[in-house]
Amino acid sequence: MNRLTSPTVVQELMARHGASFTKSLGQNFLIDENILQKIVDASAIGPGDRVLEVGPGIGVLTQAMAQRGAFVTAVEIDRRLIPILSDTLAGYDHASVVQGDILKVDLPALWQEHLEGQPFSVVANLPYYITSPVIMAILQSGLPLQSMTLMIQKEVADRMSAAPGGNDYGLLSVAVQFYCRAELQFMVPPSAFMPRPKVGSAVITLTKLPECPAGPVDEDAFFHLVRAAFAMRRKTLHNNLAASNFGLSRDQVREKIEACGLSPAVRAEALSLQDFARLTRAFYGAD
């Protein structure tokens, strides 16, 4: 058993180092041994694998991954937790800690220096307030990511894995599924954390795809069009694209939508990645 899942041990560690939970940093530490092992199992990491962890807290997940032989680099923003991590990770030669803000860190430099320029996975209990920015920063970094196994707010996990046509499907769904196959693994109750969050959590696995499932398409153009299509969720695709900066008349926008085999009256949440890719090629003439 990982002693760091004991609430008593967590409290003693925090008290010994004069630390406290910081709500603004989304600090909710995992105290459920079963959930901990299920996360590591879902990640499928093993000996010699390179892993990037974001927000290790006191090192509960870090320890569990290092115990399986993975080389773990953990990025922690809270300076007060660094001495605790030095304590809890002592003796784990495969685990290292970088103090810093993952959204400000030079990811390519971090990859070269700490992950030895090797393909890597991300496994993390992500602070909810930075979930989407962190995921997109890593996905769009161009680094050789293999997969992400993340414990995040259930609502966000639902959005990432949503299919077209549902209420959860939106810009985040399209953005994640452009790069990855998203699979919801299991739910995590608030009682698994200390302190307890006010919302439910879920573990999701994002497996990096070798190429966009919609085929070759200019990435910048694709996301510009998708953002325009979702600009006003209740408006039709025609109205949203006509209001965007494409330099086209409303009639020209309608013609391009219809040329893609779509109704101008459709809404963005009904469109697949393939639909958005066809629209991108039609509006930009590029792939």
| 147-185 pLDDT tens trace | 999 999 999 999 999 999 989 999 999 999 999 999 999
- Domain boundary pick from 208, 236, 256: 208
Among 19-23, 236-240, 262-266, the range scoring the smallest mean pLDDT is: 19-23
In a domain, 103, yes or no: yes
Task: Tell whether residue 76 is among the known ligand binding residues.
Answer: yes
88 shares its domain with 29: yes
- Domain boundary pick from 154, 179, 208: 208
Q: Domain containing 235 — which CATH number?
A: 1.10.8.100
| C-alpha–C-alpha distance, residues 141 and 119, integer Å | 13
Residue 277 confidence (pLDDT) above 60:
yes
| Straight-line distance from the first to the last Cα atom of the chain, in angstroms, rounded to the nearest whole number | 52
227 shares its domain with 195: no
In a domain, 95, yes or no: yes
What mean pLDDT is predicted for residues 180-200? 94
| C-alpha–C-alpha distance, residues 38 and 35, integer Å | 5
Task: Tell whether residue 30 is among the known ligand binding residues.
Answer: yes
Q: What is the pLDDT of residue 26?
A: 60
Residue 283 confidence (pLDDT) above 70:
yes
In a domain, 213, yes or no: no
What mean pLDDT is predicted for residues 219-241? 96
Task: Tell whether residue 245 is among the known ligand binding residues.
Answer: no
Mode of pairing for the β-strands spanning 29-30 and 193-194: antiparallel
Instruction: Find the domain containing 250 and state its range.
Output: 219-284
176 shares its domain with 62: yes
Give helix then strand counts, H and E, for the chain.
12, 9
233 shares its domain with 159: no
166 shares its domain with 234: no
Task: Tell whether residue 220 is among the known ligand binding residues.
Answer: no
Q: What is the pLDDT of residue 287?
A: 44
127 shares its domain with 269: no
In a domain, 214, yes or no: no
Task: Tell whether residue 115 is among the known ligand binding residues.
Answer: no
Task: Tell whether residue 55 is among the known ligand binding residues.
Answer: yes
> Which pLDDT band holds residue 286 (cuts at 50, 70, 90)?
low
Q: Domain containing 149 — which CATH number?
A: 3.40.50.150
200 shares its domain with 237: no
> Which pLDDT band holds residue 2 (cuts at 50, 70, 90)?
low
224 shares its domain with 196: no
- Domain boundary pick from 146, 175, 208: 208
261 shares its domain with 235: yes
193 shares its domain with 247: no
46: tokens are 């093993």
